[in-house]
Amino acid sequence: MKRDLLSIKDLSNEEVLDILKLTTQLKEYKGRSSDYLKGLNIGLLFQKPSNRTRVSFEVGISQLGGNCIYLGPKEINLGVRESTTDVSKTLSRYLNGIVARTHTHQDIVQLTKSADIPVINGLSDLYHPCQGLTDIFSIKEKFKSLKGLTVAYVGDGNNVCHSLLQGCSKTGINLRIATPKGYEPKKSIVSETKTFAKETKATIKLTNSPKEAVKGANIIYSDVWVSMGQEEESQKRLKDFENYQINEELVKTADKDYIYMHCLPAHRGQEVTSGIIDNIKHSIIFDQAENRLHTQKAILIFLLSSEHSD
Ligand code: CP
Ligand code: NVA
């Protein structure tokens, strides 16, 4: 049966750990090519721009011996040029898998329902599972173990935050989320992740105070204040988030060996100062960006390679 990755919830706790393990092996193997995806064609159906997701998937698919076809917004124009269902059914006749970046999560759900092939969420308004798995891998790479660490996420409670919620709760990492009022993560996602957290003994705390979130934290994480597709709300958002910047003052109360993470792209001077993002003693943003490649390969092998599922 085909497996999709719409959110980290689609994976059991053990499967998350399996993907992390496979990522470690692939990273050690560096860029050497293999045959995991030999003869397979993967479509990248992107309705929004991308640097890391597109390039890491394209390079990863090539290194695994597969072929990749990029389908940008102009080619497919999901739901406008033709219905999402017709796109999905047609692509299922040509391809072996789809990585989709859409505006609404509902579009990915619709694609998945009508596709006969695995669909991987390459970012929707609700989730960014490929980023979330990479983040957990990057934390493990730095700290060696996961349980008992505390992540402070400061910013908008949307896609990246939701995937961190799922990733942390499934691997035993404590998460404190500081958002302005009205930008909290979705209640249904928080309560669902609290049930995962019970099993791993992770704690999840929501606050409106960045200081409270960051105090003693091992990892500080931020994302943009204005996500793709929210450009019209820029003015309001920049004002609402102005006290949520990661800066030299705020990090003083974090653990002295804290690491700073950002999914990128970053808006320097908004959610984070250049001083924090460029501080190589703490900031691991480019290791994190590199790890997108290794993690994407592990996800592809996990979902698509017959060698892996045999
Ligand atoms: N972090 C991330 O998904 O980056 P891109 O939007 O550049 O793909
Ligand atoms: N929240 C951001 C993440 C970009 C990787 C956005 O959706 O634009």
**In angstroms, how far apart are the furthest CA atoms of the chain?**
55
| 170, containing H or E segment | helix 159-171
CATH class in words for 131-289: alpha beta
Other CB atoms within a 10 A radius of the CB of residue 261 amount to 25
- Say whether 270 is catalytic: no
Q: Which residues line ligand 2 (CB under 6 A)?
A: 123, 158-160, 223-224, 227-228, 263
Could you read off the pLDDT tens digit of each residue along the chain, which spans 310 residues?
Answer: 899 999 999 999 999 999 999 999 999 987 788 999 999 999 999 999 999 999 999 999 999 999 999 999 999 999 999 999 999 999 999 999 999 999 999 999 999 999 999 999 999 999 999 999 999 999 999 999 999 999 999 999 999 999 999 999 999 999 999 999 999 999 999 999 999 999 999 999 999 999 999 999 999 999 999 999 999 999 999 999 999 999 999 999 999 999 999 999 999 999 999 999 999 999 999 999 999 999 999 999 999 986 554 4
What are the respective helix, strand and coil percentages of the chain, to the nearest 5?
Answer: 45, 15, 40
CATH superfamily of 8-128+292-308: Aspartate/ornithine carbamoyltransferase (3.40.50.1370)
Torsion of CA 302, 218, 126, 16, to 10 degrees: 20
| 94, containing H or E segment | helix 84-94
CA distances from 256 to 280, 281, 282 (A): 14, 11, 9
Distance CA 109, CA 115 (A): 10
Query: What is the model's pLDDT at position 305?
Result: 84
Q: Do 8-128+292-308 and 131-289 show the same overall fold?
A: yes
21: its two tokens = 């393990």
- Say whether 128 is catalytic: yes
160 Cα: distance to centroid of ligand 2 (angstroms):
7
12 Cα: distance to centroid of ligand 1 (angstroms):
25
Q: Where are the domains of the chain?
A: 8-128+292-308, 131-289
In the DSSP assignment, the letter for residue 117 is S
- Say whether 292 is catalytic: yes
| 200, containing H or E segment | helix 187-200
Query: What is the model's pLDDT at position 306?
Result: 66
Backbone phi, psi, residue 120, to 5°: -110, 130
207: its two tokens = 């606050």
